[in-house]
Structures are given as C-alpha cells and as structure tokens.
Chains A and B, each alone.
Chain A
Amino acid sequence: MKTKTKTIRVNYLARVEGEGGLFVKIKGDTVLDVKLNIFEPPRFFEAFLRGRSCEEAPDITSRICGICPVAYQMSAIHAIEDALGLKADGQLRALRRLLYCGEWIQSHALHVYLLHAPDFLGYPDAIQMARDHPQIVQRGLRLKKAGNEIIRTLGGREIHPINVRVGGFYKAPSKASLRALTESLQWGRDAALETIRWTAGLPFPEFEQDFVFVSLRHENEYPFNEGRIVSSRGLDIPARDFEQHFTEEHISYSTALHSSLEGQGAYLVGPLARYNLNFDRLSPLAREAALGAGLKSVCKNPFQSIVVRSIEILHACEEALRIIGQYELPESPAMEIKMKAGTGYACTEAPRGILYHRYRFDEQGTILDAKIIPPTSQNQKMIEDDLKQFVSKNVALPDEEMQWRCEQIVRNYDPCISCSTHFLKLRIDRG
C-alpha cells in the first residue's frame, strides 16, 4: 500500500514579531521536510552602516526592531567601546543594566500575556482571551508598562531610546526620576510572582529535547550586557571569538542565514538557555519562585519557556529595584571618547537571546564593515529541529491540532522576525 504523504501549511503565522512562512511535509510516520522561510534579513543594515560614523551605530541599529531596540543599542555600544578600549563601570554600567531590565520586562510581558498565553488557553488571540480573562490581560499590560516606564525615564522615550550613546548617556537621570519608578516596580515584582504561578499551571505538552544551550555567563550576575559565551557542551569563549565557533550558511528557501555551532549544529539561545546556564545567578526570590512553580534548575521543555520568561520578569524587576536603590548621580553621564581605528566585538542578551555585533572602523570612526547576528537567526535551525521532533512523535494528531502545536512551537521561541525578516507563512504538507 502506498504511504500517504501529507502537507500542513499555515500561510500566515500570527502572534510573532514580523512575518514569515513555515512548511511541514509528512509521509506516513516520517517527517520529510520542515522549512522555516524567512525573508529580508538585517544584512541591509550592515550595508547601511558602512560609511557612517560608529557613534551613529547604536541609533541606526536600534531601528531594526521596535521590540528590542535597547538590545541593538547595547550590543553596538559595547562592540564600539571594545574597539576603543573603553569599559563602563560604576553607575554608568548599572544604568545600562537598568535599561536592559526595562526591555526584558516589557518584551517578556508582551510575549507571555498577549502572544504566547492564548496558545495554552485555546484562544486564537489575546483579544478573545481578554473577553474571558480581562484581569489577567490587564495585569500583563500593566507589567509591560512598568518596563516601558524604565525605558522612557532612562532612554528618553519608550521605543528607540534617544539618550543612549557610545561612552554612556547624553544625560544621566536624576535620583528622583528613578525613585519615581519604585512603586510600579514593586507592584511588578508581585505581579511577576503571580505570573509565575499562573503560567506554571498552564497545560504543557510532554516534549523535551537534548538541546545545546548557548548564553552569556557572568562571574556573579544573571547576564544582560556582559559575560563569556558559554554552552551546555563546554564552550566558553569571549565575544570576539564568536565567528570562530559559530558559522552562518545560506539556505535556499530563506534569505536569513542559518547559524550553527561548530561540531554541534543547531543550538538554542534565549530565556531557556540563560535559565539553564545561569540558574545559580538568579535572585534568591526568582530561584525560589522557579522551584515553587515546579521547575528544576534545568528545563528542557521549550513549551515551558513561558514560565521561564515570567521568572526573568521577576528577576528583572528585582534587579531594577536594586539598581535604583543604590543609584547615585554619576560625575559625568558619559566616558570620554578618543577615536581611533579598530575592530570591536560584543554579545549582549536581548530578550530573545544573544545578539552579536562586530564593527571595524577607521581612525575617524567611519565604519568600514559591520556584522549583526540576531537571536532569531540563531534559533531558526533549532525551531525546525523542534518541529521535526514534535511532529515525528505526534504524527497521529489531527491536522488542526498539529497545526496549532506547530505554530505554538514557533512561538515558544518568541521569534522576532522583524529583526531578520519581514514575512512568515506556515504550511504543513501530508500529501
């Protein structure tokens, strides 16, 4: 008897940042093909940067994404400062970390409540969910606002902050302006605890993979801006060695490049990787809340990334409160810059995972070439791998449920396709 071939396709994958396409082809019990199609990668920005001053790079690259502009600014700034031999410390360093807390809180709150939760509760979107669970959705919106308030206070505005520059900030915030955030962040800390309890009670499919996790690791902090790049298989390198260990390849069906870790292939970056490689660096309350929610120090179920994001919201609220509590106005809002030719490298932890930047510029600071590798490009291969594994193990699922799960698997990664593309469509083919 001839084995039936089946194709499942979703032409427009909702609730992801940006647009793209996905195609799954199954023959009998075998998954023949999985393709995540991505178009319009940020290579344009790399070309766009050539000939511009390196001091413009933070603002130019922040335009790549409306959800994680801080990540682009931070990676750009750290890479340029690396080339100039500058290293921020004291309050300037703390303020950058605070800005990143704001981005994590707002980005994670958006994904947990408005993009990911509807998958688990059986709603097509957050609007339908809000009709039955208005208080829950309101909590998510208020959490997001708490993150946005940090970015607005420190960055000058909520999206594409304008106060960030190579060397520091154009203007340091007053103690009073940061203290004004305390109440909303204290509320945010309590709301994050509720979020962890709520997400831990969602129904998770049993699905684990032997992931290769990759994240930053700092000697004593949960990583935002700094750290060595480490993996769950023993990699431990500085950011400047990134391109010696990670390679990118062109895939015929996608204009975004696929990243691989040398000798390992697909790897996972983002909250799950950070959590697994840095559990001991989480705040005591975040660790306690994670264990209380039934997670262990290692979590290999990508569907549970919604709980891990909630744990990171809690950690970011606590870290923001700690930084604000210890804040003193710095003597100068920025370090002095002495321009010189050089090449600089940096990796910082965007909400979705490590974001690599490299810049080479001349003695005037004019950029000669740039390289940007966003987290979603790095996760592409892993998303396809998850889909292959999940579909293989659950091939008997009815088409409608299979499609739902496939979309959910993509959303587990909170892919920011606007960072690397502009269009996503999903197809599952069973012939």
Chain B
Amino acid sequence: MTRENMSSPKGEPPVLVIGIGNSCRGDDSVGRIVARRIRRQNLPFLRTIEHEGEGASLMELWKGAGSVIVVDAVASDSLTGTLHRFDALLQSLPGKIFNVSTHAFGLVEAVELARALQQLPARLVVFGIEGKQFEVGAKLSSAVREAVPHIVACVLQEARAAVKSA
C-alpha cells in the first residue's frame, strides 16, 4: 500500500460508504437502503454511493481512498437480519456467504484482486447483512427491514472511528 492512499482524494470527505445490492431482489437491496438512509443525514465526514456490486468498478471507486465501508447482503446460516463485520485488510471475505450477487467478478473478487495489485484502500471494513429473500421481485423481509436502524448506527460508528484514527 502506498502512502498516497492513506488519505482521501483532495476535497473528498474522509470516509466512503458503498451500499451494494440489486433493488429488484428483495433483501439484496439492503446495502443500498442503508447507504440511502445515511446519505439523508448529510454528514460532512462521509459520502455514500449505491452500487450494483460489479467488482472492477468497485476497485476503481476505492482506489486511492482513505477509509471505505462496504455494506452488502449475505446468505449464511445466521438469523435473518444478523450483522457480520469483516476487516478486509486483515482477512479474506468468506466467498460462500457473499455469493448472493450474480456477478462473476463481484465484491469478494474485487477485494482479493485489489490485494494482489496492492490497491486496497488504507482501511476497508465490510458489513454483511444476513438476508432471506433474494428472488427477483421479492420484497425486503421484515427482519432485515427492522435491522436497518441498527445497521445504520453500526456503519456510522465505524465511520466515526475511521475519522478519529485518520
């Protein structure tokens, strides 16, 4: 990692929150919903992006960024609405639970390719929210909807910690 990407691009808030998902696939949209809720708060220390999860453009987004928080849906055996936290600088993302996306080159691949090319941001935390309904046309499940305020709070806490440590 270069010193260059230890700071944010000039004029940008220090934290980037990327909410990943497909709005047409029920719980898969939760990352986007969280990003949207946070954007409405107009906080000066972060900016938010809603994203479909295509890996190469994710790499482009976080290239040179200081602190990045990604929010995406996952499918493991946990209770619906459970929040998982991964420090992507310290560990690989568990590919199996993040394969909700249909992209051949998605978030998990983007993190590992960025690691191989030394293009990870200075700080990269990934929140995975346990979903249940991922079919096209499905609605957000009630457990995920109820978990959204808690997820928003956790992401903001992470963002504030990132600002303090910068």
Contacts and interface: CB of A to CB of B under 8 A. Distances in A.
B110 to A, nearest CB: 10
B113 A127 contact: yes
Contacts of B136: 40, 44-45, 48
B113 A66 contact: no
B109 A66 contact: no
Contacts of B23: 63
Interface in A111-168: 114-115, 125-127, 130-131, 134, 137-138, 141, 144-145, 148, 158-160
A117 to B, nearest CB: 12
A160 B103 CA distance: 14
A17 B104 contact: yes
A422 interface: yes
Contact of B57 (A14, A127, A148, A418): A148
Nearest to B108: A127
A123 to B, nearest CB: 11
A130 B102 contact: no
Contact of A63 (B24, B57, B60, B105): B24
A130 B22 contact: no
Contacts, number: 81
Contacts of A126: 105, 109, 113
B104 A137 contact: no
8 closest cross-chain pairs (CB), A and B: A418-B102, A130-B116, A159-B52, A18-B102, A127-B112, A66-B52, A63-B24, A17-B104
22 contacts: A18-B102, A48-B136, A48-B137, A63-B22, A63-B23, A66-B52, A66-B53, A110-B56, A114-B105, A115-B104, A125-B109, A126-B109, A127-B113, A131-B116, A134-B117, A141-B60, A145-B57, A148-B60, A159-B51, A159-B57, A417-B102, A422-B102
Chain A interface mostly: helix
A357 B53 CA distance: 26
Contact of B56 (A63, A125, A130, A144): A144
A17 B109 CA distance: 13
Interface in B59-113: 59-60, 99, 102-105, 109, 112-113
Interface residues of B, number: 26
Contacts of B116: 127, 130-131, 134
A44 B53 CA distance: 22
A19 B134 CA distance: 14
A307 B27 CA distance: 39
Given A16-B104, A418-B102, 7 more contacts: A19-B99, A19-B102, A45-B136, A66-B52, A114-B109, A134-B117, A158-B57
A141 B109 CA distance: 13
Chain B interface mostly: loop
Interface of B: 22-24, 51-57, 59-60, 99, 102-105, 109, 112-113, 115-117, 135-137
Interface of A: 14-19, 40, 44-45, 48, 63, 66-67, 106, 110, 114-115, 125-127, 130-131, 134, 137-138, 141, 144-145, 148, 158-160, 417-418, 422
B60 A160 contact: no
B53 to A, nearest CB: 7
Contacts of A138: 117
Contacts of A115: 104-105
Nearest to A17: B104
Contacts of B57: 144-145, 148, 158-159
A19 B53 CA distance: 16
B56 A145 contact: yes
A376 B53 CA distance: 21
Contacts of A67: 54, 103
Contacts of B54: 66-67, 158-159
A43 to B, nearest CB: 10
B104 A130 contact: no
Contacts of B22: 63, 66
A15 to B, nearest CB: 5
A84 B43 CA distance: 47
B24 A15 contact: no
Contact of A15 (B53, B56, B104, B135): B104
B105 A110 contact: yes
Contacts of A145: 56-57, 60
Nearest to B61: A158
Task: Among B24, B52, B53, B56, find the residue whose CB has the most chain A CB atoms closer than 10 A.
Answer: B56
A106 B113 CA distance: 17
Contacts of B115: 127
Task: Among B102, B104, B113, find the residue whose CB has the most chain A CB atoms closer than 10 A.
Answer: B104
Contacts of A134: 116-117
A106 B105 CA distance: 13
A122 to B, nearest CB: 16
Nearest to B92: A127
A130 B113 contact: yes
A15 B104 CA distance: 5
Contacts of A159: 51-52, 54, 57
